[in-house]
Amino acid sequence: MKIGIYPGTFDPVTHGHTDIITRSLRVFDKVVVAVAPNPSKHPLFNLAERLAMVQLVMKDLDQVDVTPFDGLLVDYVERSGAHAIIRGLRAISDFEHEFQMALINRKLAKTVETVFLMPSEEYSYLSSTIIKEVARHGGNLTEFLHPEVARRLHDRIRSLKP
């Protein structure tokens, strides 16, 4: 069984993320969505909330597991028995950072490969950062997020306003 690990902060999980996860199942028998705490990104949602949102969105796909992880990604990949790291590339601007990460991961663990997938065209511009900005200004999120995730994001934004 070929297992791919799709790591990220998922703050919040977008249709772009779910597109990559779903398309990854064409290559892998199982995809593990590994949700990182990543405090350096100052997430709006805590780890448990982000895990719950990804689990909600992926609930109908038995081949997808959602788990937390911390520490070095390559260590997690090796411990889990996975075959590759899955990364999405939206634009050329993503490539340099992702290329560097893939090379350092290969240096740290020679058996860990990185597979890059491009999102479907309709999601190539999506990022959690952009979606949070739209939410901060009261924008409609139905094109970008699962309805329950959109509700949670709007609620969180409202709770932060003075």
Q: pLDDT averaged over the chain? A: 93
> What's the rounded mean pLDDT across residues 49-69?
97
- Residue 59 annotated among the catalytic residues of the structure: no
Domains of the chain listed by start with CATH number: 3-160 (3.40.50.620)
Res. 94: pLDDT tops 90: no
Q: What is the pLDDT of residues 118-148, one digit of tens each?
A: 988 888 888 898 999 999 999 999 899 999 9
Provide the pLDDT confidence category of residue 97 given band limits of 50, 70 and 90.
confident
Q: What is the pLDDT of residues 9-58, one digit of tens each?
A: 999 999 999 999 999 999 999 999 999 998 788 899 999 999 999 999 99
Contacts for 60-67: CB closer than 8 Å, 24+ residues apart: 61/21, 61/22, 61/25, 63/25, 63/29, 63/30, 63/31, 64/21, 64/25, 64/30, 64/31, 64/32, 64/33, 65/30, 65/31, 65/32, 65/33, 66/32, 66/33, 66/35, 67/32, 67/33, 67/34, 67/35
The two tokens of residue 41 are 């990104």
Res. 93: pLDDT tops 90: no
- Residue 159 annotated among the catalytic residues of the structure: no
From 41, 59, 151, 158, the catalytic residue: 41
- Residue 90 annotated among the catalytic residues of the structure: yes
pTM above 0.85, yes or no: yes
From 24, 30, 87, 128, the catalytic residue: 128
Parallel, antiparallel or unpaired: strands 64-68 and 84-88: unpaired
From 23, 90, 106, 154, the catalytic residue: 90
pLDDT for the residue 49: 97
- Residue 128 annotated among the catalytic residues of the structure: yes
> What share of the chain in percent tops pLDDT 90?
78
